[in-house]
Amino acid sequence: MPRITQPIASDWPHDVELAVATFGNRARTEIIRYLLENGPNARGEIVANVGASEASVAKHLILLEEAGAVSADVEPGRRHGRAPRYSVNPERVKALLDAQLRYLTEPTR
């Protein structure tokens, strides 16, 4: 099977890059879906319910937060000793998906 590499089109819009990185991963998709259905939750609850390891969920939450798809009730620099609760930002999820859909369905000229 051939190895997947970076596409030739290196000028993807930023939101398209984020959408592909965010929604092209099953764990991140399941984390978003779990939070959407269950409301804000701490990382331990997410781990217990999405079938991924603590380290994996931690990594995915960082990426989801950087993309704006999820947010936490404690700022990143203030989390030492605290367990933030994560929630989905549905408007940002829709904006990222819309950006990807436009890129895939609308010709650029």
Angle at which helices 54-67 and 14-23 pack, to 10 degrees? 160
Looking at residue 4, what is its pLDDT? 56
Looking at residue 77, what is its pLDDT? 64
CA distance 59 to 77: 16
Q: Give the torsion sign (CA, 48, 53, 58, 59).
A: negative
Looking at residue 9, what is its pLDDT? 60
Mean pLDDT of the chain: 87
Is the predicted pLDDT of residue 1 greater than 60, yes or no?
no
Looking at residue 108, what is its pLDDT? 72
pLDDT in tens, 53-82: 999 999 999 999 999 999 998 876 666 667
In 3-state terms, what secondary structure has residue 26? helix
Is the predicted pLDDT of residue 36 greater than 60, yes or no?
yes
